[in-house]
Amino acid sequence: MDRLAAVSVDLDTLPHYFRIQGLDERQVDAQARALVSKVAIDRYLELFDGRPATFFAIGEDLADPQMGAGLRAAHRAKVEIASHSFSHDYGLSRLRPARIAEDLRAAHEAIFTAVGVAPVGFRAPGYTLSPALLQAVAALGYAYDSSTFPATPYYSAKALVMGALKVLGRPSRAVLDTPRVLFAPRVPYRPDPLAPYSLGKARLLELPVSVAPRTRLPFIGTLVTRLPWPVVKATYRALAQDRLINFELHAIDVLDESDGVPAVLARQQRDLKVPVREKLKRLKEVFGWLWSDGEPVTLAEASKRLAPAL
């Protein structure tokens, strides 16, 4: 089996975490706002060392000129720049179709203007799809969507945290997906435009974020940087039969509190307490596994290779 190893990073900047945690984003100072564009992108490019990977950029964050410069540097280093929506609205999937199309088009244009290359892939904020959202992605002519995240532990944890925040009177702006996502395929498929988590005949491919069979434990950055090492190894081994590994990370997986993350956020987002040196060491090790067991590819390239057989 010629295995494909796709590493992708959602470049969510800190204000988006304040929103999802129900915190006031005006507490994010200029230095903290620039941590992703100035620090995280460089750390990832160093880890990739010229290998292809994918960044999912948020259109709105391109108001910071440093973000545009970071994405151009990434593009020169063979990193694909895909769309992670314009406003990163966690309720995007529930908006009217015209509003969804407007948001996606704005993101598309912002990325094209900044990088000079049009994106061909999309990942939804909060991994939440709807028929209207998937159809809007398809209408842009994209080759793939990579939002499906059929992870049971993630789904239950998210439901729990959202419930707790509500009890605390600090409702989160996140949106809980339909439980149908838990029955979505774990491996690449052609979705049904009317039911994105089911098999269908769409022209674009759905490339789910990798989760282990049976346990449905997600093989993502937070698992790699936070869970005991034997769990990381076992989760990776469980994916041995998959043609594509779609390893999803976030920009904050290479940041920690000492980089200047506001303490109020680090208290809520516990992975920011893990020292960055430890995180980088673990990620380097895992990237090493991926790239020795498979060919490093962008998600765009993965969709091209997989499409004929699906």
Q: Which residues bind Zn ion (CB under 5 A)?
A: 10, 12, 125
Q: How far is the CB of 127 from Zn ion (least distance, A)?
A: 8
Q: How far is the CB of 231 from Zn ion (least distance, A)?
A: 24
Q: How far is the CB of 10 from Zn ion (least distance, A)?
A: 4
* Alpha-carbon span 185 to 206, nearest angstrom: 9
**65 Cβ contact partners less than 8 Å away, ≥ 6 residues apart:** none
- When the beta carbons of 10 and 103 are compared against Zn ion, the nearer one is 10
Cα pseudo-dihedral 75, 304, 4, 43, rounded to 10: 10
Q: Which residue is closest to Zn ion by CB?
A: 12
Q: How far is the CB of 34 from Zn ion (least distance, A)?
A: 18
- When the beta carbons of 299 and 306 are compared against Zn ion, the nearer one is 299
What angle separates helix 229-238 from helix 276-293, to the nearest 10 degrees? 20
Q: How far is the CB of 247 from Zn ion (least distance, A)?
A: 16
- When the beta carbons of 174 and 306 are compared against Zn ion, the nearer one is 174
**Structure-token pair, residue 184:** 């979505």
Any idea what DSSP says for residue 241?
T
Diameter over CA atoms, the chain: 51
- When the beta carbons of 255 and 306 are compared against Zn ion, the nearer one is 255
- When the beta carbons of 207 and 306 are compared against Zn ion, the nearer one is 207
**Burial group, residue 150, by CB count within 10 angstroms (0-12, 13-18, 19+):** buried
Residue of 9, 12, 301 lying closest to 144 (CA atoms):
301
